[in-house]
Structure 1
Amino acid sequence: MRRAADGRRPAPHGPDRPGPWARELPRYAELHCLTAFSFLRGASEPQELVERAVTQGYEALAITDECSLAGVVRAHKQLREMREAAHHALREAATEAGEADAVIDEPPLLKLLIGSEFLVRDDTGMPRFKLVLIAQNLHGYGNLSQFITQLRRASPVKGEYTLHWRQLAPEKLTDCLALLVLPREADDADLLAAAHWLLQHFTGRAWLAVELLREASDALWLQRLQGLSEATALPLVAAGDVHFHVRSRKALQDVMTATRLGRTVADCGFDLQPNAERHLRSRQRISQIYPAELMAETLNVAARCTFSLNEIRYQYPSEVVPAGVTAARHLRDLTYAGAEKRWPWDEQGVGGVPDKWKARIEHELALIEELQYEHYFLTVADIVDFARGIGILCQGRGSAANSIVCYCLHVTSVDPDRSTLLFERFISRERNEPPDIDVDFEHERREEVIQHLYEKYGRDRAALTAVVICYRPKSAIRDVGKALGFSDAQLDVMSNDHSGWSTQVLPDEHRAALLQQMALPEDDPRLQQLITLGRQLNGLPRHLSQHVGGFVLTEGLLERLVPIENATMKDRSVIEWDKDDIDELKMMKVDVLALGMLSAIRRCFDLVNRLRGTAIDLTIPDDDRATYDMICKADTVGVFQIESRAQMSMLPRLQPREYYDLVIEVAIVRPGPIEGGMVHPYLKNRALPADQVEYPSEALKEALWRTRGVPIFQEQVMQVAIIAAGFTPGEADQLRRAMAAWKRPGVLEKYYDKVVNGMRERGYTDDFAKRIFDQIKGFSSYGFPESHAASFALLTYVSCWLKCHEPAAFLCALLNSQPLGFYSPSQLVQDARRHDIEVRAIDVNHSDSDSTLERRDGQHHPAVRLGLRLVSGLGKDAAGRIEKARSQVGEFAHAQDLAQRARLTQQDMQQLA
């Protein structure tokens, strides 16, 4: 066993290291592999392909989805996790062998290559050949990503591209290796022309791919390619045209082909692959098919590729930092300038930033500077400043509300004196991932913010994050069922019956019932095929969509980091990676989100300020007794967050009397606290005098006193783990992340021993420890962080105050912000009338497009005149023409006058009747 320079010995080989048998088989690297991100072509996830390649002892695997890099990060992450697991296993083996100080070599496992496949067309638009490009280094990767972007953005149809052979500019694809995949049906002249084209454009970095798939023409095809190689001096290399990781996925790949072509499998004929050879075959099988020199050449290709996704270095935009000032200095200046506004001095010289918050500011600024996140905070603050500068109401929420720096920058609005800040919920060293700040904007004006970002940074530096739309049971059943030839009526029966998804084989009684309901013969094998293939398809990616508002902004060209394509929505562009992908590569995003209640509140502020001559805003005092009286009576139709029936039933029991009570109310009616059994204990303890509430220890009392000894929020679960189980703040955040990944089996359970043993070591009973862990599991369903609930509670209170004190303006604002909330306009109007608000009917001679306020003599509250926009079926343009015609000439004399002056159609008149 090797000794290191310091005398330590290396760890022994572990089970994940190749044994002697591996050296007896020829080495091989797969250079042409599609994943499920080649939508409706590849039938396996990137993770499955990586795992299979490792188990088969491949030297390298190239992920080469068609005109896409959408799946490469998932492959990268899978390989990283497998390396970490193998390293951990080797470390444990060394420790058990009494060699804890042994040098642990990096487990080789697999080399991941990044590339893409392209269908190249001739001058007539007909497919000519396929070209596989593989990045050699970071520069080549950037060229490849940029090339994909150009093709995707030039296409008028989302998700498609067109590449003509004359379009290829080899000078823009330097540092990329090229494999030419030729069609077998081509004549020798076409093969020679394509080979010369490749030789001309990719001199010294081109190969002819030999893909032998156990077809009858394999021997002849190999002979033709060998002749072509001799004629052009282009080397041959083996490749597998992989579409799935194991041969058993062939049936699913047939279903995907049928779905892509819009036919049944039975009608696809020769469009289906003739066999199941397009999987990651064993090296023994490959060695029986390919000449040894073609397998050896795969290693030469792989050796020329050194690029890893770890080389990507994301840089945030620098525009937000003035010349001559460092980002850290500028952030510090803005933070303390904002702090002085948050904690101002009064005329007597009393006030200023409290010492405890100065210490907290310094702590956060130091960590932000250490992790080099200054530009991110400055960019988010700049976006918020822009929005507020043009009168758009906005507010940060989520884990960012744990940050006092965000509060001082006026990104968030939660006063730290009224909440429990846990900065590690937002940023920590152990977490080792970028922060994520969510900012809500008025839903009707968010587009102004989005377009501002495009204008400021350019579409080559700004784009939305993707969302991977995956198959779900119903959509999987429908696509598989159509491919197998089931009727829509039969699929309706099956898609509404999910009980068969829990077992691989249907129980006889269940199968018989379904056969009868679907009118199928008893010996029809398709029902079991439908279940089997539906289960395989469920969860696989179907297509990419755009994130609701997650923006990625970069200092350099974003398209050199990740391909960008046009979104379905006009004037939007989207990258090919989702949130988890950019988190893996430490790329930052800012969420520019839309919230309808902000639109309603801003409209209400405008109405009230015009009516009363005041200037109310989100700083409304939060201790209004009348508002809390209204809340305690569950008189909350139309307000934010506490208007549902479940919330209304909780309000009289919880009896909120202050802001923090609303924070609890917002969070407690959620699946997490309910399933974790926290609601009834909390209500029971809330009814007790504070000094009679029992706590497991004085240390935990500090974390749980505000919620009467019961953890209601995710932050409290983290604090309990830190205090009672000895977790570090970073480990506690990993626990939170495990709670968020509750759908993945075994993720949360691995923390059980650490939680229970840690509490036992600190003197807590096993019963208490297990109860806490059960509550943690309950939170995994859906639990609110306190910071999120605190942000929402602010808007909850403001909406309640407006409903209580300015009910007419509140109703008017709600009606003009529809669709919004739980209740229809008619229900909102009925509620307002129950509160003695006069609501006047729609009248073409008095109603504008929006609902408006009309003064009433001697009355404090005005009347609400319903707007034309509430007329079902009446278009926005027609309502605008009515309003304009009336303002120009005056009231309408009769229906014909209305129709003529407002240029209304017969349908418009019918809607108004």
Structure 2
Amino acid sequence: VIHELEFSGYFLITWDIVRYSTSLGLMHIGRGSGANSIIAYCLGITDICPIELDLYFERFLNLNRKTPPDFDIDWSWQDRNTILEYIFNRYGKDHVAFCGTNVEFKYRSIFRELGKVFGLPKEELDALAKNPMERHDDNSVVKLVHKYGKMLEKYPNQRSMHSCGIIISEEPITNYTALEMPPKGFPIVQFDMHIAEDIGFEKFDILSQRGIGSINDAVKLIQQNRGIDVDIRDTSLSKDEVVCNEFLSRGQTIGCFYIESPAMRGLLRRLKCDNYKTLVAASSIIRPGVAQSGMMKEYIFRHNYPDQFEYFHEVFQEHLGDTYGIMVYQEDVIKIAMHFGGLTAADGDILRRAMSGKGRSLAALQKVKDNFFASCTAKGHSEALSREVYRQIESFAGYSFCKAHSASYAVESYQSLYLKVYYPLEFMVAVINNMGGFYRTEVYVHEARMSGAVILNPCVNNSEYHTTLYGNNVYLGFMHLQGLESKLGEHIPKERKRNGDYSSLEDFIRRIPIGIEAVQILIFIGAFRFTGKNKNELLVQARLLLVNFKPENRNLTLLQEPVKEFRLPELSRSKFEDAFDEIELIGFTVSCTPFDLLQTKHRGEVMAKDLIHHHKGEVKMLAYLISRKHVPTKKGAMFFGTWIDVEGNYFDTAHFPDCLEQYPFQGGGCYLLLGRVEVDYHFPTITILKMAKMPFIPDPRYSHDKQREFDVHRQIKEDVSMTQRKPYPQEHEIGLPRRKINEQYNIKDVMNNIQ
């Protein structure tokens, strides 16, 4: 089939790119529908064995499918440019270019751009972008922003380059298009991927992600810190590993690729997910489309109560047993079309593509539909039964997800989870250095601390630009200091390696070209604590050293004339001044926890670990806000919150529209929560009835200036994610029968069986 469709070259070019990557020792993940091909597996393009997962080649490629094949290949974000340079050099810069794309106005960009037009300040622009429309101010300017925003939605905003799609042409690419040369330096064609496909080009998707970067860096750190070589590319090491499965079932997956979000951790706990195949299913049903169809709710029910439903038909039991008779995967649509309807796999794929909106020929769909019903009749199925099966295909084919894609994700999830389980400190430092994933840096620092790390602020004699690990000591990197130039953050460790540790503040200033502002940042974060002097003393000393010196003559003067030591009066500091310095400079506390800064001594009546024992009970908790996710419902916007209690454990809350009106979120910080616990399939969630933000102590650095005592408090962060989708269906709206349908039933009987 590959040869007949003339795609051998596409396979071989992809293999050549992967071979080069492997020769450099780089890690890649091959995913997409290409993982349905055992040839791709044998060539090393993918790590997914199609036989193990019963994947269908026809989902990837068949004689009826004229569109090019699809390999999505991920590298670390640090390695992607190396691969791109190889492709452009290997196949010639006259023959290679990126696809173009048209960027459309979306929810946040519309409000930001229009808000600027109407002269709104940054605070109001942020409020428009972060909050759902129903919570925007009701003034005349915002009404105009809404009015024009609706007109602009999905309107072209600007031309750009495709994030990953590369075209390789046999003829010079300029035979087909003029090229644009953006600042990044890679040429772009002036048409998009659909036009490229119509012309006859095959697109190579060269992607990058931070998950692979975290895995790569963790493996290097393990070697440096422990002298152990971990062959993480050997998937048999991590996939379905026993302890990893225990962590999975408890949702202890923060930092791990694709399985760390609050929704995914909740799903893993509801499923008690403890094996590879269940993780593959979870990676699919968490997708917005699958959840939107109601299949996620039905899958959770059937997984937990396998004795409380019957398979719709014997074919569903035989071929969809792994997913309890639900068409979770796109491959499942092909299976039912083949084994129930008697179609070929190629025709089943036409049906799937047409249902998902990707099929372009209505005539082809009608032909396959006619064949489906004719074949069902020939197989002896009643018309009512055939129509119900077709209705299910029609309902779910557009929402289902590619199984090979989910399987590829699951393999990478296991690789990162294995490193988290057995080498937690190295893994969390790697995640921090790769700028994390779903959460802000503070959460990953918290995870490292919970795993036994001692977290230390940057130090000029121990820190690098990135975060470093010495035994159990984690030194935060200079990259986290707000206001410190990255060039300076990189220069400090380079100079130390060339000429040895810094012996004093004076020695540091002599060797590093630096101004008073940058020195103050380093002093306030404690980077000179090795001197034994307190921050106030160091600040005075720094000013004395720098006040009369200009950058161009500092080195000369300091070398000729040693600085006098001055006897300074005792300058006392509050123990919490350091914490407020940390919030201002790195965004979170290191020397204490946020709970230590609260005015109240109350720490809640129930801890997160005990919530599962309080089903239907009311609880009062005190917690630190990590993230909140906006979710639309039929009654208005609601939020799901993720929190940490004083013991450092996570729990989740639900905030419904009527509650949010009276008790809205008021930014990052600690809140007192009152709510009712609902344990849903082993996973406790608190439905919030009341909540109040708890005040922190005034900033002791400004005890003399009452107007600034609470300025830094506003810098305490929260992660907010907005969702613009239709509400998920209720159980009665899903439309999946939980009872077996006999051949003699009529359609009324069928519909009565739908729960």
In 2, the alpha carbon distance for the partners of 1:624 and 1:665 equals: 17
Q: Equivalences for 1:523-538 in 2 at 5 Å?
A: 535=151
Measure, in 1, the Cα distance between the counterparts of 2:82 and 2:362.
Answer: 44
8 Å CA contact 1:725–1:754 kept in 2: the answer is no
Find the counterpart in structure 2 of residue 730 from structure 1.
346
Q: Which residue does 1:876 correspond to in 2? A: 486
Q: Which residue of 1 aligns with 2:439?
A: 823
Q: Which residue of 1 aligns with 2:453?
A: 837
**CA gap 1:425/1:863 in 2 versus in 1, 3 angstroms:** same
CA distance in structure 1 between the aligned counterparts of 2:484 and 2:110, rounded to whole angstroms: 38
Q: State the alpha-carbon separation in 2 of the partners of residues 615 and 527 from structure 1.
A: 54
Letter in 1 for 2:159: L
The residue aligned with 1:464 is: 98
1:368 match: secondary structure: coil
2:45 is paired with a residue of what secondary structure?
coil
Partner of 1:644 in structure 2?
261
Query: Structure 1 regions of 5+ residues with no counterpart?
Result: 1-366, 502-509, 521-525, 856-861
Secondary structure of the structure 2 residue equivalent to 1:594:
strand
Cα gap change, 1:835 to 1:586, in 2 (>3 Å): same
Residue aligned with 1:465, SS: strand
Cα distance in 1 between the residues matched to 2:402 and 2:370: 22
Q: Equivalent residue of 1:839, what SS? A: strand
Which of 174, 180, 184 is the matching residue for 1:565? Answer: 180
* Contact 2:315 2:336 (8 Å CA) reproduced: no
**Aligned partners of 1:907 and 1:744: how far apart in 2?**
61
3-state SS of 1:369 partner: coil
Match of 1:413 among 39, 47, 53: 47
Deviation for aligned residue 1:681: 2.7
Aligned position for 1:846: 462
Instruction: Determine if contact 1:636/1:642 at 8 Å carries over to the other structure.
Output: yes
Q: Which residue does the alignment assign to 2:495?
A: 885
- What is aligned with 1:585? 199
1:773 and 2:407 matched: no
For each residue in 1:614-642, what CA deviation from the matched residue of structure 2 results, as whole angstroms up to 9, or x when unmatched? 24222124232211111111111111111
Q: Does 1:866 align with 2:476?
A: yes
Question: CA distance change for structure 1 residues 823 and 650 in 2, over 3 Å: closer, same or farther?
Answer: same
Structure 2: tracts of 5 or more residues without a match: 525-755
Secondary structure of the 2:340 match is helix
Q: Once the two structures are superposed, what CA deviation does each residue of 1:448-499 show, in whole Å capped at 9, x if it has no partner?
A: 11111111222210001111223558878999999xxx94569x99x979xx
CA distance in 1, matches of 2:353, 2:520: 56
> Is residue 331 of structure 2 the alignment partner of residue 715 of structure 1?
yes
Counterpart residue number, 1:398: 32
Which of 798, 801, 810 pairs up with 2:418?
801
Residue 555 of structure 1 is aligned with which of 159, 170, 175?
170
Q: RMSD in angstroms over aligned alpha carbons?
A: 3.9
How many angstroms apart in 2 are the aligned matches of 1:893 and 1:747?
Answer: 80
Task: Report the Cα offset of residue 740 of structure 1.
Answer: 4.0
Post-superposition shift, 1:653?
1.6
Structure 1 residues 9-158: aligned runs within 5 Å: none
- The equivalences for 1:673-752 within 5 A come to 673-688=290-305, 694-741=310-357
Partner SS state of residue 904, structure 1: coil
Correspondence 1:148-187 to 2 at 5 A: none
Aligned residue for 2:274, secondary structure, equals: coil
Q: d(CA) in 2 for partners of 1:470 and 1:519?
A: 21
Q: Secondary structure at the match of 2:4?
A: helix
- Give the conservation status (yes or no) of the 8 Å contact 1:671–1:778: no
For 1:541 and 1:487, how far apart are their aligned partners in 2? 20
CA separation of 1:584 and 1:705: change in aligned 2, threshold 3 A: same
Of 42, 48, 72 in structure 2, the residue corresponding to residue 438 of structure 1 is 72
One-letter code aligned to 1:710:
I
Q: Which residue of 2 aligns with 1:898?
A: 508
Higher Cα Rg: structure 1 or 2? 1
Q: CA deviation at 1:745?
A: 14
Indicate the structure whose relative CO is greater, using CA pairs within 8 Å and at least 6 residues apart: 2
Q: In the alignment, is the contact (CA less than 8 A) between 1:398 and 1:437 conserved in 2?
A: yes
The 2-side partners of 1:681 and 1:474 are apart by 33
Query: Where does residue 222 of structure 2 map in the other structure?
Result: 608
* Mapping for residues 476-495 of structure 1, pairs under 5 Å: 487-488=118-119
Letter in 2 for 1:714: Q
Equivalence for 1:632: 249
Superposed CA deviations along residues 81-106 of structure 1, whole A, max 9, x for unmatched, are xxxxxxxxxxxxxxxxxxxxxxxxxx
CA distance in 2, matches of 1:487, 1:821: 34
**Residue in 2 aligned with 1:788?**
405
Deviations 1:808-867 (A, max 9, x none): 11011111111x311222211112222323333322111122222213xxxxxx433322
User: What is the one-letter code of the residue matched to 2:398?
Assistant: S
Amino acid at match of 1:894: S
For normalisation by structure 1, the TM-score amounts to: 0.51
Q: Show CA shifts across 1:46-86 (max 9, x none).
A: xxxxxxxxxxxxxxxxxxxxxxxxxxxxxxxxxxxxxxxxx
Q: Distance in 2 between matches of 1:600 and 1:418?
A: 28
Note the C-alpha offset of 1:753: 6.5
* Matches of 1:542 and 1:733, distance apart in 2: 35
Q: How many residue pairs end up in the alignment?
A: 511
Per-residue deviation at 1:771? 7.0
CA displacement at 1:664 relative to structure 2: 1.0
What percent identity do the matched residue pairs reach?
27
CA-CA distance at 1:779 after TM superposition: 5.3
Q: Are 1:371 and 2:5 an aligned pair?
A: yes
What is the Cα deviation at residue 428 of structure 1?
1.1
